[in-house]
Chains A and B, each alone.
Chain A
Amino acid sequence: MKAKLLQGNEAIVEGALAAGCRFFAGYPITPSTEIAEGLALRLPQVGGVFIQMEDELASMGAIIGASLAGAKSMTATSGPGFSLMQENIGFASEAEIPCVVVNIMRGGPSTGLPTSPSQGDVMQSRWGTHGDHPIIVLSPSTVMECFHITVKAFNFSEKYRTPVIILGDEVIAHMREKVELPNPEGLEIIDRIKPTMPPEWYIPYENNARGVPAMASFGSGYRYHVTGLIHDVRGFPTSRPDEIEPFMHRLIQKIEKNLKDIQIVDPFMVEDAEITIVAYGCVARSAKRAVIDARKRGIKAGLLRLVTLWPFPRVYVEKVAEQSKVIIVPEMNMGQISREVKRVNEGRSRVITLNKVDSNIITPQEVFKKIREVL
Chain B
Amino acid sequence: MPDITKLIHNYLRHDKKFPHVWCPGCGNGIVLGSLIRAIDNIGLSKDDVVLVSGIGCSGRMPVYVDFNTLHTTHGRALTFATGIKLANPKLNVIVVMGDGDATAIGGNHFIHAARRNIDLTAIIINNNIYGMTGGQYSPTTPYGKRATTAPYNNIEHSFKIAELAICAGAVFVGRGTVYHTRLLDELIEKAILKKGFGVVEIVSHCPVQYGKLNKLGTAVDMMKWQKDNAIRVEKAKKMTKDELEGKIVIGILADKELPIYQDEYEKIWEKAGAKKIAQEGK
Residues of A close to B225: CB separation below 8 A: none
Is the pair B281, A225 in contact by a Cβ cutoff of 8 Å? no
For the complex formed, measure the closest distance between the CB of B154 and the CB atoms of chain A, giving whole angstroms. 27
Distance between Cα atoms of A61 and B84 in the complex (Å): 10
Q: Which residue, of A54, A55, A218, has the highest number of chain B Cβ atoms within 10 A?
A: A218
> Does B112 make an interface contact (CB < 8 A)?
yes
Is the pair B87, A57 in contact by a Cβ cutoff of 8 Å? no
DSSP class of A's interface residues: helix, strand, loop or mixed? mixed
Stretch of A5-13, A63-71, A263-271, A291-299 contacting B (4+ beta carbons < 8 Å): A63-71
Residues of A close to B73: CB separation below 8 A: 61, 87-88, 91, 228
Is the pair B16, A236 in contact by a Cβ cutoff of 8 Å? yes
> Does A179 make an interface contact (CB < 8 A)?
no
Stretch of B127-135, B227-235, B250-258, B270-278 contacting A (4+ beta carbons < 8 Å): B270-278
For the complex formed, measure the closest distance between the CB of A13 and the CB atoms of chain B, giving whole angstroms. 14
Is the pair A225, B69 in contact by a Cβ cutoff of 8 Å? yes
Residues of A close to B50: CB separation below 8 A: 218-219
Is the pair A69, B87 in contact by a Cβ cutoff of 8 Å? yes
Is the pair A46, B277 in contact by a Cβ cutoff of 8 Å? yes
Which residues of chain B in 224-282 are interfacial with respect to chain A, using CB atoms and an 8 Å cutoff?
A: 265, 268-269, 271-277, 279-282
Is the pair B83, A66 in contact by a Cβ cutoff of 8 Å? yes
Distance between Cα atoms of A361 and B132 in the complex (Å): 50
> Does B30 make an interface contact (CB < 8 A)?
no
- Interface size range of chain A in the complex: 35 or more
Residues of A close to B72: CB separation below 8 A: 61, 64, 91, 228
Is the pair A65, B87 in contact by a Cβ cutoff of 8 Å? yes
Residues of A close to B157: CB separation below 8 A: none
> Does A128 make an interface contact (CB < 8 A)?
no
> Does B145 make an interface contact (CB < 8 A)?
no
Residues of B close to A229: CB separation below 8 A: 71
Is the pair B86, A218 in contact by a Cβ cutoff of 8 Å? no
Is the pair B83, A224 in contact by a Cβ cutoff of 8 Å? no
> Does B153 make an interface contact (CB < 8 A)?
no
CB 8 Å contact bits of A199-240 with B (1 = contact, 0 = none): 000000000000000000111110111111100001011000
> Does B22 make an interface contact (CB < 8 A)?
no
Distance between Cα atoms of A57 and B112 in the complex (Å): 13
> Does A344 make an interface contact (CB < 8 A)?
no
Distance between Cα atoms of A23 and B109 in the complex (Å): 19
CB 8 Å contact bits of B87-130 with A (1 = contact, 0 = none): 11011000000000000000011001000000000000000000
CB 8 Å contact bits of A225-258 with B (1 = contact, 0 = none): 1111100001011000000000000000000000
Which residues of chain B in 42-90 are interfacial with respect to chain A, using CB atoms and an 8 Å cutoff?
A: 46-48, 50, 52, 62-63, 66-73, 75-76, 78-88, 90
Is the pair B47, A223 in contact by a Cβ cutoff of 8 Å? yes
Chain A minimum-CB-distance residue to B77: A61
Is the pair A224, B69 in contact by a Cβ cutoff of 8 Å? yes
Residues of B close to A59: CB separation below 8 A: 79
Is the pair B268, A55 in contact by a Cβ cutoff of 8 Å? no
Is the pair B87, A226 in contact by a Cβ cutoff of 8 Å? no
Is the pair B70, A61 in contact by a Cβ cutoff of 8 Å? no
Is the pair A62, B82 in contact by a Cβ cutoff of 8 Å? yes
Residues of A close to B86: CB separation below 8 A: 23, 49, 51, 62, 66
Which residues of chain A in 56-104 are interfacial with respect to chain B, using CB atoms and an 8 Å cutoff?
A: 57-71, 73, 87-88, 91
Distance between Cα atoms of A25 and B63 in the complex (Å): 27
Chain B minimum-CB-distance residue to A91: B73
Is the pair A70, B63 in contact by a Cβ cutoff of 8 Å? no
Distance between Cα atoms of A237 and B282 in the complex (Å): 28
Residues of B close to A55: CB separation below 8 A: 108
Residues of B close to A51: CB separation below 8 A: 82, 86
For the complex formed, measure the closest distance between the CB of B51 and the CB atoms of chain A, giving whole angstroms. 10
Chain B minimum-CB-distance residue to A44: B272
Tell me which of A44, A45, A66, A228 contacts B87 (CB under 8 A).
A66
Is the pair B76, A58 in contact by a Cβ cutoff of 8 Å? yes
Distance between Cα atoms of A71 and B272 in the complex (Å): 20
Is the pair A65, B80 in contact by a Cβ cutoff of 8 Å? yes
Tell me which of B48, B62, B67, B84 contacts A65 (CB under 8 A).
B84
Residues of A close to B84: CB separation below 8 A: 65-66, 68-69, 218
CB 8 Å contact bits of B182-222 with A (1 = contact, 0 = none): 00000000000000000000000000000000000000000
Please judge, given known A-B contacts A69-B87, A223-B46, whether A47 and B275 are in contact too, CB under 8 Å. Answer: yes
Is the pair B63, A237 in contact by a Cβ cutoff of 8 Å? yes
Tell me which of B109, B272, B279, B281 contacts A58 (CB under 8 A).
B109
> Does B17 make an interface contact (CB < 8 A)?
yes
Is the pair B83, A61 in contact by a Cβ cutoff of 8 Å? yes
A-B CB proximity, top 8 nearest: A65-B83, A61-B79, A47-B277, A44-B272, A66-B83, A69-B87, A62-B83, A65-B80
Known: A62-B82, A219-B90; 15 extra A-B contacts, CB below 8 A, are: A25-B82, A45-B273, A47-B274, A51-B82, A57-B75, A61-B73, A61-B82, A61-B83, A67-B87, A68-B70, A68-B80, A69-B85, A91-B72, A218-B91, A237-B71
Chain A: residues with CB nearer than 8 A to chain B?
22-23, 25, 41, 44-47, 49, 51, 53-55, 57-71, 73, 87-88, 91, 217-221, 223-229, 234, 236-237
Chain B: residues with CB nearer than 8 A to chain A?
16-17, 46-48, 50, 52, 62-63, 66-73, 75-76, 78-88, 90-91, 108-109, 112, 265, 268-269, 271-277, 279-282
